[in-house]
Amino acid sequence: MDGLFKFEDCLLKHYIRKEAWLPRCRMRLRTLRKAAKTAAEQRRLKYFTFCAVGALDVLMLDLEKVIRRSTETRKFDTVYFFDVDSEYVIETQKRIPGAQGFASDFVKAILVDDPLEPLAINNPDPLEPPKNEENTAAVREKQRLRETKQIFIRSFPFDILNLDLETYLFKPKEGIPGRVVNAFRKVFEWQRQPGTLPNGQPYQLNEFTLMFTTRVGPPNLGTDYFEMMRGYVDQNLAEHAMLNPIYLKRSANRESAAFLEQDFQGFFKLAVPKTIASLLWEQDWEIDHSNGIQMFQFERGPEAEPYEMLHFVMDVRRINPPRENRPPNQIPPAARENYRTVVHQLFAAHPQDVTALLQAAGEASIKAHLEEIKAHREKIYVP
């Protein structure tokens, strides 16, 4: 999530953008257009990303006419992003002018305690310290984070969430489930908020596209995280007997404890998408099994310690009927069946090797597309 992305020229990463992100985003746009029954219901696609200063994903979607800038101002006013440094936010906005940038640590802003959450309707000045808090640097920073959080909440919902971490999902020093997971939990909760059409009327988002990127690891997570990941897998095996033959093949006939101990990366690649699926389910969303989850992997290096990247792309929809329209603690049979299908897909599928895919596609075509986006960026750049 750093502003300066040193892998901007990485063709492996751009293969993901072009061959995974772009097709799914095009599908999302087609679905959005089809859902608009009248001219008054038509709207532009809303996109959230950790784009870094280069903003290549945003500019790709603009070049490919998936994201539409404002007709009047030509601004990227339906694009939202986070970066930890205000200077990086300013530099990013020179490349995607009009985009809403949040100069904060994403996880800190999402998880800051805020008595006015979810919406600060009655707070005249979120930067004014409450009367029961001292006017110190720490308090002012908390108020700044609260203001960022409140503005971000009002930005929801998004048609596309690109949660491109480029770092670890789990961190050893954090208690389970970890701060990033808890931040995602909030994001999926806020996705249920109504949006506003151009004519001022509210609308409910029933589908969105989710792209998620993380590093594999770290292997020193600790017993609590290992138990959490094992719990997801063991629970599915206990509830769905049909998964056992697939799991045994994937794990080389090992029980989950041995699989995790002897092949951490293999187990991690099974447990992480299950974590995301469970988070969505908890917030009344389900992965649409018809397109499944696309999973990709590639190794970064050479460095002192090469590491592996995982990329997931999926379509998500509200469970039907939504929980506000069904009895407490009841899940529709169709949703349960969809969940079984999704879990089956997760157990059966292995991440695709992007290095092999890039070689098959031809590096020249991927590089040419990347250079086309960079040339497009130069035309838009505002010094």
State the DSSP string of 129-173: PPTTS---HHHHHHHHHHHHHHHHHHH---SEEEEEEEEESS-TT
pLDDT score of 4: 55
* Identity of the amino acid at 97: P
CB 2 within 8 A of CB 89: no
CB 104 within 8 A of CB 145: yes
pLDDT score of 181: 95
What's the mean per-residue pLDDT of the chain?
91
* Residue range 164-174: mean pLDDT, rounded: 89
d(CA 170, CA 181): 8
Res 5 pLDDT > 70: no
- Lowest average pLDDT, out of 101-105, 140-144, 250-254, 358-362, goes to 140-144
d(CA 373, CA 379): 10
Torsion angle in degrees (nearest 10) through CA of 117, 118, 121, 127? 40
pLDDT score of 165: 84
pLDDT score of 120: 44
- In the chain, pLDDT over 70 holds for what percent of residues? 93
pLDDT score of 122: 42
Residue with the bigger pLDDT between 240 and 375: it is 375
CB 299 within 8 A of CB 372: no
- Do the strands 195-196 and 160-168 form a parallel or antiparallel pair, or are they unpaired? unpaired
Residue 67: which residues within 8 A CB-CB, separation 6 or more? 44, 45, 47, 58, 61, 76, 78, 79
Here the tokens at position 101 are: 């940038």
Helices 363-380 and 354-361 cross at an angle (nearest 10°) of 90
* Identity of the amino acid at 279: L
Res 133 pLDDT > 60: yes
Most confidently modeled range among 125-129, 140-144, 155-159:
155-159
* Residue range 219-232: mean pLDDT, rounded: 90
d(CA 357, CA 336): 34
Please choose, from the candidates 174, 268, 151, 270, the residue with its C-alpha nearest in 3D space to the C-alpha of residue 222: 174
Domain boundaries, the chain: 11-103+157-378
Here the tokens at position 263 are: 């092949």
Burial of 175 (0-12, 13-18, 19+ CB in 10 A): exposed
* Identity of the amino acid at 116: L
pLDDT interval class at 345 (50, 70, 90): very high
On the question of a cis peptide bond just before residue 198, with omega within 30 degrees of 0, the verdict is: no
d(CA 186, CA 182): 7
Taking only the tens place, the pLDDT of each residue in 269-293 is 999 999 999 999 999 999 999 988 9
Taking only the tens place, the pLDDT of each residue in 61-102 is 999 999 999 999 999 999 999 999 999 999 999 999 999 999
Residue with the bigger pLDDT between 203 and 131: it is 203
pLDDT score of 373: 98
Taking only the tens place, the pLDDT of each residue in 103-125 is 999 999 999 987 766 554 444 45
d(CA 218, CA 171): 7
* Residue range 307-317: mean pLDDT, rounded: 96
Taking only the tens place, the pLDDT of each residue in 19-56 is 999 999 999 999 999 988 888 889 999 999 999 999 99
pLDDT interval class at 7 (50, 70, 90): confident
* Residue range 133-151: mean pLDDT, rounded: 83
pLDDT interval class at 1 (50, 70, 90): very low
Query: Within the chain, what is the greatest distance between any pair of CA atoms?
Result: 63
Q: Let me know how many helices (H) and strands (E) the chain has, helices first.
A: 14, 11
Look at residue 321 and give its three-state secondary structure. coil
